[in-house]
């Protein structure tokens, strides 16, 4: 089905940047070097500079970024990591695959981990807090890091959705001990396929991450420990690099589109807000409404591709059975997953497309009999 207002328009974006992208590809293809070469090294340097961190390490996906980071700490079996249940499944999957146990705590009104719920979930086995900057809105890192320092815990940001988001003028990526980004095609800065990156200021962690993503190899002959092959390849590095200078412009376009939606929709839905010191990047534009499923159906039947990120809390997934623990009541999480709806938002969305969405939402609430 072709939508009047698609959720995203990646082909249009690629066409607009065709020359830039193809010349990056040509450079790599003709270089004869496709893995662990100059493009990855340059991308890592430039990405770290962008985030204001000392180091960045490219990986094959955001999931791989989380996994190699978690594995680098070498925690014993039974270790617990505190996180949220309203993220993409990869956040929890990485914790489980690293050998640790995810412990879910509730979210605040911002949709991110509620710092007030963290301390009661900490046990002797807790080693880390893993907040997610969901939708591109930064979590309350000041309070999270303060709790972590008091309890000697590591803080790993899941910044998969949040490149360029700021808290008190500082970009996410350097707000904890390490941060993990996704370069999936739907992310604000993306590869043409899968990709990811970890940022950190910790030199020892950085050196371990370089091994973790490359078989544990120190050099061609010496393997320090068995690990994965999850490197970011040269083609993807070159294409992502080419777009990095554009990301702030795209973010600004996303923000303007989000503010336009807020004006159109505030009378009908709970629209996203920005707390003090927060600068959000709207990787998803998420409203909260009653009758969410009916509204989603109405929008889709009328040519608007609205999605839900994510309709099932992770502790309710079949995969989670026996592997996770609740660190308290998750009542706000339950309420959140039942009411959220992601509307189409991308840098090239037009005013008339947004007006169309606004008309359909207002028409739905004016005409539908909810009794």
**Residues near ligand PLP (CB under 6 A):** 61-63, 87-88, 90-91, 132, 158, 160-161, 182, 184, 194, 196
Query: Which of 126/182 has CB closer to ligand PLP?
Result: 182
Sheet containing 101-104: give its strands across.
55-59, 196-200, 178-182, 154-158, 126-129, 80-83, 101-104, 325-326
Q: Whose Cβ is closer to ligand PLP: residue 213's or residue 298's?
A: 213
Smallest distance, Å, CB 149 to ligand PLP?
24
Q: Rounded to an integer, what distance in angstroms lies between the CA atom of residue 196 and that of residue 180?
A: 7
Tokens 């539908």 correspond to what residue? 368
- Closest approach of ligand PLP to the CB of residue 60, in Å: 8
Element (H, E) at 63: helix 62-72
Strands 154-158 and 178-182: parallel
- Min separation Cβ 92 and ligand PLP, Å: 9
Pick between residue 43 and residue 364 the one whose CB is nearest to ligand PLP. 43
Residue placing its CB nearer to ligand PLP in the complex, 333 or 354: 333
Q: Which residue is nearest to ligand PLP (CB)?
A: 62
Q: Output 155 or 264, the one with its CB closest to ligand PLP.
A: 155
Q: Partners of 231 in the beta sheet?
A: 59
Task: Tell me the C-alpha distance between 159 and 138, whole Å.
Answer: 8
Q: Give least dist CB 294 to ligand PLP, A.
A: 26
d(CA 309, CA 134): 10
> Which residues, in sequence order, are bridge partners of residue 3?
none
Q: CA-to-CA distance for 321 and 121, rounded, in angstroms? A: 19
**Closer residue to ligand PLP in complex, CB, 91/353:** 91
Closest separation in Å from C-beta 198 to ligand PLP: 12
Shortest distance in whole angstroms from residue 197 CB to ligand PLP = 10
């Amino acid at each position: 089905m072709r939508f009047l207002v698609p959720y995203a328009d990646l082909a249009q974006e690629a066409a607009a940047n065709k020359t830039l992208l193809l010349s990056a590809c040509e450079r790599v293809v003709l270089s004869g070097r496709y893995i662990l070469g100059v493009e990855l090294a340059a991308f890592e340097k430039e990405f770290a500079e962008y985030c204001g961190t000392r180091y960045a390490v490219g990986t094959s996906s955001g999931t791989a970024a989380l996994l190699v980071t978690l594995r680098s700490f070498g925690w014993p079996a039974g270790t617990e990591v505190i996180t949220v249940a309203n993220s993409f499944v990869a956040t929890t999957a990485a914790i489980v695959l690293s050998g640790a146990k995810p412990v879910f705590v509730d979210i605040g009104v911002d949709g991110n981990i509620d710092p007030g719920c963290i301390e009661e979930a900490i046990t002797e086995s807790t080693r880390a807090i893993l907040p997610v900057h969901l939708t591109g809105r930064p979590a309350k890192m000041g309070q999270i890091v303060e709790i972590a320092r008091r309890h000697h815990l590591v803080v790993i940001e899941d910044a998969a959705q949040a490149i360029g988001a700021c808290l008190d003028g500082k970009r996410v990526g350097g707000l904890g001990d390490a941060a993990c980004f996704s370069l999936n095609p739907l992310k604000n800065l993306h590869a043409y396929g899968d990709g990811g990156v970890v940022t950190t200021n910790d030199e020892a962690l950085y050196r371990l991450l370089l091994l973790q993503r490359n078989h544990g190899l120190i050099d061609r002959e010496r393997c320090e420990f068995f690990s994965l092959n999850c490197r970011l390849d040269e083609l993807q590095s070159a294409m992502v690099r080419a777009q990095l200078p554009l990301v702030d412009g795209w973010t600004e376009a996303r923000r303007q589109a989000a503010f336009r939606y807020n004006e159109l929709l505030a009378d009908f839905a709970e629209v996203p807000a920005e707390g003090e010191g927060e600068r959000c990047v709207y990787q998803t534009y998420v409203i909260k409404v009653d009758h969410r499923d009916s509204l989603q159906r109405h929008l889709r039947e009328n040519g608007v591709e609205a999605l839900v990120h994510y309709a099932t809390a992770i502790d309710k997934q079949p995969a989670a059975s026996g592997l996770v623990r609740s660190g308290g009541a998750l009542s706000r999480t339950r309420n959140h997953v039942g009411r959220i709806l992601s509307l189409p938002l991308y840098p090239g969305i037009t005013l008339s497309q947004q007006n169309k969405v606004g008309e359909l939402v207002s028409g739905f609430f004016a005409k539908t009999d909810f009794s």
